[in-house]
Structure 1
Amino acid sequence: MRGSYGLLRYWAKIGLLLLMLTMVGCNTLKKVEDDELLLIKNSIYADDEKISNEDIRGLIAQKPNSTVLGYPLRLNLYNLAKENPDSSFTDWLHRKEKREQRLNNFLSKKQVDRLRESFVVKGASDFFKRIGEPPAIIDTALTQKSIERLEAYYNSKGYFNNSGAYTIVNSKRKKRAEIEYNINLEKPFHIDTITTNIASKDLDSIYNTTVEASFVKQGEQFDLANFNNERERLTALFRNSGVYNFQESSINYDILRDTTIAADDQLMDVQLNIQNPRSVNDSTNTNDYRIHRFKKINIYADYQITATGDSLKSIDYDNYTIFYNNELKYRPKALADAIFFLKDSIYRDLDRIRTYRQITNLNTFKYPNIEFIPDSTRTQLTSNIYLAPRPKFSLNLDFDVTHSNIQQVGTVFGATVITRNVFGGAETLNISARGSVGLLTNPSLSNETFTSELGGDINITFPRIWFPFNTEKIIPYYMLPQSRFLIGTNFQQNLGLDRQSFNTILSYNWSPSTSLKNNIELLNVEFVRNVNTDNFFNVYQNTYSTLDGIADDFESEPGFEDFYDENVDPMLDDNDELNLLIPEGANSFIDAILAPGSSADSETVASVQSIDERQQRLTENNLIFASNYTFTKDSRTDINDNNFYQLRIKLESAGNLLSILDGIVPYNKNDDDQLLVFSVPFSQYVKTEFDFIRHWELSSSEVLAFRSFLGMAVPYGNSESIPFVRSYFAGGSNDNRAWNAYELGPGSTNNLNDFNEANLKIALNLEYRFPIAGDVKGALFADAGNIWNVFDNEENPDAVFSDLGSLADIALGTGLGLRYDFTYFVFRLDMGLKTYNPAEEASRRWFSDYNLRNAVFNIGINYPF
């Protein structure tokens, strides 16, 4: 990756140079005429009080040019464009008498004409205009339009007699000005009495039971937003109380006072009108809104537009009539459980929405069509639900090209076969296979040149809670329950220790609302087998370097000579002529130092023992038998919502069930008194995680994003440490971007291992996101955090979280980033600088490596949080 970082630094310098040239070489007023003024600021005052509300400021029709950290980048990019590139090219062509003729002879007249349309002549200007922004010249017509918008806004807040004016204030800098908008509010109107005129008796009865929940209240200041909210509330109320055909347009209000005439009391009377719907064929004929109940519910499975009613068969199940062609491919209960309409119950819009969601959740049908047909009494409904099946089988293929610090280049391929409605209950079966082939970056890690990986899994999803007991009362179907059972395996060759893994998951998830989600993994079993453990010191070369450095002092010891060889890897230590053999020499040296009666001092023994424990931990096979629960709350309403928060809490426990079974089925034990299952000590720990994300929309195009993460895993019983695959690491494109992944920590240690990990993690991230030009976005960020060891067998005090004083080890990285929005995903490049590095001496922790040479570049897809 060093070559990649060097290239990224090179382009970063080029980009910085271009930006500096743009800032120095551009004249902001280049395209502002002498009789024009460049708008630099808008200010709004209501009764002399300055308004900072973004919703109100958004009413201004003309805004100043956008800036990047106070610099009008897009304006100056626009200024780089030539107004008439064709004329400039023509002037240049005719500047010398025979220039055009020589070009025609050299290129031909047709090619000279094409040169006129080329990027060099015209395309560059078009490009700068497209990504740039024309100067915001003050336009009094737009200014007056802004006044009208502001007056209308304050009208909607009860200030019916407000008046507005604007003032253009010239800046001390030439040809620049700001606009001050001043609104004189006058006294607001308040609601005195509220009367109703409801034509339908059924609606009147429903309304009177909920009148206290009204948004429009006596004595409050008039606010049009409250009236709109009340119309929405009443529409939802009526449509969830049996009035299936109620329309919001039937609601209107009368203001019983002339609001253009000011008075001392400024009170108004309000009348709520709810009219009956008009007949489609006769606008003068109306029918009362009525409460409807379901008379009949029909489900058309395998619906085809060309099918006729006479050709369909039908069965009745639990007050539903199911129509189908030839044979019914679905269990009736599976279809009935997805429908929330009940015979003889009133119509509710909520049930219609839940029915749509659950049918979609089945992943077996296309988006359904639901029809409601009233009878002649206008009090009963027949519902027809048309279900068009999705294809029984489908195939997804994936192909990707990757690069990492292990592989120079790799190809990843995968295939998934999806089978729907496997057992007739809308179950979905996924059978996946994946593989990869890559070229090793460092051939010394293996005797081979290529890496390979092969894996696959079988995943079946049930649209219900698959459990011996009935859970419908606790988790009803409108919560979109799902059960998932997965079994999979993965094999690696020439990647690290050539890991083989097998995993099984039985999980349940459900969503009480669109913002809440629960997930329980009742069973999460993972078995990890390291095949090529002799490759440890080739893979973890930092660990080997430490051990080889210790071994330098023992080269002349009797009986140690067979542990060394000349120039095994001279890149590890240029000053050594002898290096420990891998793996025989390294392992024999460890045994000799740790053997009773060794001549090594206590400090050396402790260091070698730490290396030996790390080797055993990373080469031992792991059996993880865990269960976990995850709660997620997301307040985001849609993808355009930039004011939201996300909360995720996870609790996990591993090994408890196996530990309990020890009293029933005795296990074998190893020399460390650990219980063994299939000759492997199982992991036992508890783990908890707290993840919180908050976004604030500063303006229509600027966002401040914050994330906090706290995670801790505590081993106990059968374990002294957390399995590597369940531990925490710091650094990388989605964490602290001033460090590469696995390089930060633990604690104040400095790149102790090749892959640094621990069982406690704190992470805090803050990012300011802003537009630059077109689809190019920018970001300024600050990432803080670290990992530590706690309550495990780690003895290095620099890596252990001992008390609150350990918070001084929290690292801080700051930097900037560029993003390009491809609509479907965002490509991200971040440059992080080590602002506070706890691995340095106390006097050098702040800004010691704060320069471009030590910058860390991270590439990512989509935003980190």
Structure 2
Amino acid sequence: MSGYFGVRGNWAKIGLLLLLLSIFGCNTLKKVGEDELLLTKNIILVDEEKVTNAEIKGLITQKPNSSVLGYPLKLNLYNLAKENPDSSFQDWLNRKEKREKRLKNLLSEKQVYRLQESFLVKGYSEFLKRIGEPPVVIDTSKTSKSVSKLESYYNSKGYFNNTGEYEIIEGKKVKKAQIEYRVTLNKPYIVDTIQKNITSPELDSIYNQAVKGSFVKQGQQFDLDNFTLERERLTALFRNSGVYNFQESSINYNIFRDTTQASDDQLMDVELNIRKFRSTNDTTDTNMPYKVARHRKINIYADYDLNGNSDSLKTLEYDNHNIIYSGKLRYRPKALTDAIFFEKDSIYRDLDRIRTYRQITNLNTFKYPNIEFIPDSTQTQLETNIYLAAKPKYSLNLNFDVTHSNIQQVGTAFSASVITRNVFGGAETLNISARGSIGLLSDASLSDGNFTSELGGDVNITFPRIWLPFNTEGIIPYYMLPQTRLSAGTNFQRNIGLDKQSLNSILSFNWTPSERLKNNIELLNVEFVRNVNPDNFYNVYRNTFSNLNRVADQFQDDPQYSQYFRPLEDVDDEPVLSIPTGANGFVRNILNDSIPVSAEDKELVNSIEERRRRLTENNLIFATNFTHTKNSKSGINDLDFYQYRIKVESAGAMLSLLTNVIPFNKNDNGQNLVFSVPYSQYVKTEFDYIRHWEIGGSQVIAFRSFTGLAIPYGNSDNIPFVRSYFAGGSNDNRAWNAYELGPGKTDNINDFNEANLKIALNLEYRFPIAGDVKGALFADAGNIWNVFDSETNPDAIFTGFSSLGDLALGTGVGLRYDFTYFVFRLDVGFKTYNPAKDGSARWFDGYNFKQAAFNIGINYPF
């Protein structure tokens, strides 16, 4: 049976190879008719200059078949499909002998196989047609339409006398051609005088005060886009100057110029017209002039049944707002009025309406609000009604996941959270969550047990304001959506690493000055990490133990050192240090010179002991940090944007200032202790920049750069493991696994390599393949180093610009499947330049699938 499957496996490989050869060797003209021409390229010349502008190229109706790095993949997939896959099946059914057997249900096994094969061929062909592209054959009617579009476009830019034409240029290969579009612009038309005809005196006054900001200016070349921008500007101007009901359709322009007459005079006069308001509810279609309106009365309907008995409604006046409710008011009045940006007797501003919507939604207590404006008979006074409908008081969320990692063969994780809204009557949100997981260890030697477990919980409360003893509204107004978050959590791990227990507490403030800017301050971020099982260090960090064991090999046959080695269970076993007693005793006696070793071995053992001490000691971190983020992305479909994040963090500074006031206890190394644990002291900075360029056809070039540096000082000579940097993994350098790369030119010396300086550069070309299947080619460069800390290995230390030669380079390919709500990602990375190697061996060493790194991820890496 095994031989059978082996043969089938070989046939599968051969079939895949033949399919690839078929695709790459496919004739692109296979389905192009004798009298047809395959379109290979469009060229646009404007006044004899070649145009590369994506907007103008998008006007062309017919475009060549899409390609991946110049190869027409979708066209060749389409060409692989059979034209009439049903023909053999139909012929077989029509044959008398076969038809009689079919009627008698006496189909032989061979015939059934042929029937199934026919259906498979049909389904395969339909699939290829669906994911492929038919050949784009030149259609002169579509070409003429493209010329008309080009002429219309340049008409909109003021070239009213432009002319366009096209030429089909056949290539050297038969049945292939490119189209050359040529546009002659001639002289553009220029805006001369600008007149206005504004029927409303109030609008006329507002316009005159802001006329300098106009997009349509005298002496400017005519451009229809400027007129569109000016209509949008005026609409926003009027609606933010009191005219709550202004309609953009009230604006139009008259252009005075006969563009059909040939003349050297290219000047044109423009008249701006702003008509009266036209009521859509008035059957007589009466027009009325626009007027500036003010808020006469502001009513907040705070969560009551609009269809209920209005006699039971109560009214509370607070800060010039009327809060209308039934029963008992469940919200503090200030919490409601702070979310409303309309003020009594002030003019209407559309900006205040937008900010009110955003702030009420940001409270996470109410559903999307309804705002109504009721004018009086003069159209100058508004009764403003804000209707609020509360979300459910409580919400329950449950999650369940199946996980896999380098520690767990398989695991299950679950979490549950309860959200309570309006906890203290000020629209506060309380979130209590619990999580847990259990998994099967991938290596039983990592622990005494076979299973891992994790249990944790968090309490998080959010206030819709900056929670400080002084008023911050002048610095961070409510329209910036300020929030204060106070959280506390704990986590317990069993049989994962050193069985960590952690406690954390965070007091943070965040606000959003605009849709593109976000700021966050963690005024206090306290984290305590306790290693419950430090004796398990050498079981977890196997590479470190192997290095120590190699030093011990020279003493394994000497009886006076037998106490350091574990008893042999078999005569063929090699002696190894016992864990933890033998390993710890061996290290201790080498460092106090009780066991004679070379200076090189002693330095190695000292480095191992430093790492063991560092990774097994408990950590106490009192940190403060500030993060500023900007994102220019305008929507989910925006493929051309940039984003950056700047973060600055300081740990231990506040505690250090107290050393002259509070007599801290000290350990043997002179470090100050809090709760018998030395607190960490460091300064950390990060800069993360992302840029995406859309290059047409849903193709994107994505770039990312990251630089991070953490400098220990004072009470610390290194960075806590939980705040250090690592390299490799699905969102970093994808040719190395997480924690595998670096530091510097070292070669995977530890199981979890980390350092306090990181540089990462990523470049990725993303392109569509077929339907929801996407592809990517990427290059990842970067590494981590130690600097300004206790590291002594010169290969791991950043010494200057020369250390940039240690930047590792990984290249590879990726496949993505877009599920709309998320993207499933598979990346294969190859070590293109490995700084841990020597000389020419650094380049393309192990550049094969066997030594490649396979990364699975959700969504794009950057």
Q: TM-score range by the shorter chain?
A: over 0.9
Q: Does 1:813 align with 2:810?
A: yes
Q: Does 1:367 align with 2:368?
A: yes
Which residue of structure 2 aligns with residue 847 of structure 1?
Answer: 844
1:15 Cα offset (Å): 10
Which residue of structure 2 aligns with residue 304 of structure 1?
Answer: 305
Which runs of structure 2 are paired with 1:594-613 in the superposition (5 Å)?
594-613=591-610
Is the contact between residue 454 and residue 494 of structure 2 (CA under 8 Å) also seen in structure 1? yes
1:270 Cα offset (Å): 0.5
Q: Does 1:485 align with 2:486?
A: yes
Which runs of structure 2 are paired with 1:87-486 in the superposition (5 Å)?
87-94=87-94, 97-98=97-98, 101=101, 105-106=105-106, 120-280=120-280, 281-282=282-283, 285-486=286-487
Is the contact between residue 543 and residue 611 of structure 1 (CA under 8 Å) also seen in structure 2? yes
Do the aligned partners of residues 172 and 862 (structure 1) sit closer, same or farther apart at CA in structure 2, a change above 3 Å counting?
Answer: same
Which runs of structure 2 are paired with 1:630-669 in the superposition (5 Å)?
630-669=627-666
3-state SS of 1:547 partner: helix
Is the contact between residue 23 and residue 80 of structure 2 (CA under 8 Å) also seen in structure 1? no
Q: Distance in 2 between matches of 1:425 and 1:14?
A: 69
Is the contact between residue 89 and residue 121 of structure 1 (CA under 8 Å) also seen in structure 2? no
Is the contact between residue 813 and residue 835 of structure 1 (CA under 8 Å) also seen in structure 2? yes
Which residue of structure 2 aligns with residue 578 of structure 1?
Answer: 575
Of the structure 1 ranges 310-319 and 723-732, higher mean CA displacement relative to structure 2 is found in 310-319
Letter of the structure 2 residue corresponding to residue 636 of structure 1? K
Which residue of structure 1 aligns with residue 783 of structure 2?
Answer: 786
Q: Distance in 1 between matches of 2:351 and 2:152?
A: 35
Which residue of structure 1 aligns with residue 670 of structure 2?
Answer: 673
Is the contact between residue 569 and residue 579 of structure 1 (CA under 8 Å) also seen in structure 2? no
Do the aligned partners of residues 138 and 496 (structure 1) sit closer, same or farther apart at CA in structure 2, a change above 3 Å counting?
Answer: same
Hey, which bits of structure 1, 4+ residues long, moved more than 3 A? 9-19, 92-100, 106-109, 111-119, 556-559, 566-570
Do the aligned partners of residues 265 and 57 (structure 1) sit closer, same or farther apart at CA in structure 2, a change above 3 Å counting?
Answer: same
Do the aligned partners of residues 285 and 55 (structure 1) sit closer, same or farther apart at CA in structure 2, a change above 3 Å counting?
Answer: same
Which residue of structure 2 aligns with residue 588 of structure 1?
Answer: 585
Letter of the structure 2 residue corresponding to residue 531 of structure 1? V
Which residue of structure 2 aligns with residue 755 of structure 1?
Answer: 752
Which residue of structure 2 aligns with residue 767 of structure 1?
Answer: 764
Of the structure 1 ranges 122-131 and 454-463, higher mean CA displacement relative to structure 2 is found in 122-131
Which residue of structure 1 aligns with residue 5 of structure 2?
Answer: none
Q: Distance in 1 between matches of 2:570 and 2:627?
A: 47
Which residue of structure 1 aligns with residue 523 of structure 2?
Answer: 522
Which residue of structure 1 aligns with residue 723 of structure 2?
Answer: 726
Is the contact between residue 568 and residue 578 of structure 1 (CA under 8 Å) also seen in structure 2? no
3-state SS of 2:831 partner: strand
Do the aligned partners of residues 104 and 272 (structure 1) sit closer, same or farther apart at CA in structure 2, a change above 3 Å counting?
Answer: farther
TM-score normalized by structure 1?
A: 0.95
Q: Distance in 1 between matches of 2:58 and 2:668?
A: 72
3-state SS of 1:417 partner: strand
Which residue of structure 1 aligns with residue 29 of structure 2?
Answer: 29
Give CA-to-partner distance per residue, 1:412-468, whole Å, 9 cap, x none: 000000000000000000000000010111111112111110000000000100111
1:119 Cα offset (Å): 5.3
Q: Distance in 2 between matches of 1:134 and 1:283?
A: 56
1:830 maps to which of 823, 827, 830:
827
3-state SS of 2:799 partner: coil
Give CA-to-partner distance per residue, 1:168-192, whole Å, 9 cap, x none: 1111112111111111211110111
Do the aligned partners of residues 15 and 291 (structure 1) sit closer, same or farther apart at CA in structure 2, a change above 3 Å counting?
Answer: farther
Is the contact between residue 89 and residue 115 of structure 2 (CA under 8 Å) also seen in structure 1? no
Is the contact between residue 435 and residue 453 of structure 1 (CA under 8 Å) also seen in structure 2? yes
Do the aligned partners of residues 123 and 46 (structure 1) sit closer, same or farther apart at CA in structure 2, a change above 3 Å counting?
Answer: same
1:142 Cα offset (Å): 1.2
Do the aligned partners of residues 851 and 291 (structure 1) sit closer, same or farther apart at CA in structure 2, a change above 3 Å counting?
Answer: same
1:262 Cα offset (Å): 2.5
Q: Distance in 2 between matches of 1:569 and 1:144?
A: 87
Is the contact between residue 651 and residue 681 of structure 2 (CA under 8 Å) also seen in structure 1? yes
Which residue of structure 1 aligns with residue 17 of structure 2?
Answer: 17
3-state SS of 1:859 partner: strand
1:741 maps to which of 723, 738, 758:
738
3-state SS of 2:186 partner: coil
Of the structure 1 ranges 688-697 and 121-130, higher mean CA displacement relative to structure 2 is found in 121-130
Which residue of structure 1 aligns with residue 64 of structure 2?
Answer: 64
3-state SS of 2:244 partner: coil
1:87 Cα offset (Å): 2.7
Is the contact between residue 747 and residue 799 of structure 1 (CA under 8 Å) also seen in structure 2? yes
2:616 maps to which of 615, 619, 622:
619
Of the structure 1 ranges 75-84 and 505-514, higher mean CA displacement relative to structure 2 is found in 75-84
Q: Distance in 2 between matches of 1:121 and 1:523?
A: 65
Q: Distance in 2 between matches of 1:741 and 1:375?
A: 67
Of the structure 1 ranges 792-801 and 118-127, higher mean CA displacement relative to structure 2 is found in 118-127
TM-score normalized by structure 2?
A: 0.96
Give CA-to-partner distance per residue, 1:666-725, whole Å, 9 cap, x none: 111110001111111110000000011111111141111111100000000100100000
Which residue of structure 2 aligns with residue 496 of structure 1?
Answer: 497
3-state SS of 1:492 partner: strand
Q: Distance in 2 between matches of 1:613 and 1:10?
A: 52
Q: Distance in 1 between matches of 2:702 and 2:172?
A: 36
Do the aligned partners of residues 112 and 561 (structure 1) sit closer, same or farther apart at CA in structure 2, a change above 3 Å counting?
Answer: closer
Do the aligned partners of residues 119 and 701 (structure 1) sit closer, same or farther apart at CA in structure 2, a change above 3 Å counting?
Answer: farther
Is the contact between residue 22 and residue 77 of structure 1 (CA under 8 Å) also seen in structure 2? no
| CA-based RMSD | 2.3
Q: Distance in 2 between matches of 1:305 and 1:31?
A: 66
3-state SS of 1:662 partner: helix
Letter of the structure 2 residue corresponding to residue 429 of structure 1? L
1:809 Cα offset (Å): 0.4
Is the contact between residue 89 and residue 116 of structure 1 (CA under 8 Å) also seen in structure 2? no
Is the contact between residue 402 and residue 412 of structure 2 (CA under 8 Å) also seen in structure 1? yes
Which residue of structure 1 aligns with residue 4 of structure 2?
Answer: none
1:23 Cα offset (Å): 2.3
Q: Distance in 2 between matches of 1:569 and 1:412?
A: 40
3-state SS of 1:166 partner: strand
Which residue of structure 2 aligns with residue 3 of structure 1?
Answer: none
1:559 Cα offset (Å): 3.2
3-state SS of 1:578 partner: coil
Letter of the structure 2 residue corresponding to residue 69 of structure 1? L
Q: Distance in 2 between matches of 1:12 and 1:641?
A: 41
Is the contact between residue 463 and residue 481 of structure 1 (CA under 8 Å) also seen in structure 2? yes
1:706 maps to which of 703, 712, 735:
703
Do the aligned partners of residues 322 and 609 (structure 1) sit closer, same or farther apart at CA in structure 2, a change above 3 Å counting?
Answer: same
Which residue of structure 2 aligns with residue 6 of structure 1?
Answer: none
Q: Distance in 2 between matches of 1:346 and 1:114?
A: 80
Structure 2: 5+ residue stretches without partners = 1-8
3-state SS of 1:453 partner: strand
1:164 Cα offset (Å): 1.2
Q: Distance in 2 between matches of 1:18 and 1:731?
A: 35
Is the contact between residue 550 and residue 604 of structure 1 (CA under 8 Å) also seen in structure 2? yes
Give CA-to-partner distance per residue, 1:11-32, whole Å, 9 cap, x none: 9989973662342453222221
3-state SS of 2:660 partner: coil
Which residue of structure 1 aligns with residue 552 of structure 2?
Answer: 551
1:86 Cα offset (Å): 2.6
Is the contact between residue 117 and residue 123 of structure 1 (CA under 8 Å) also seen in structure 2? no
Q: Distance in 1 between matches of 2:277 and 2:250?
A: 7
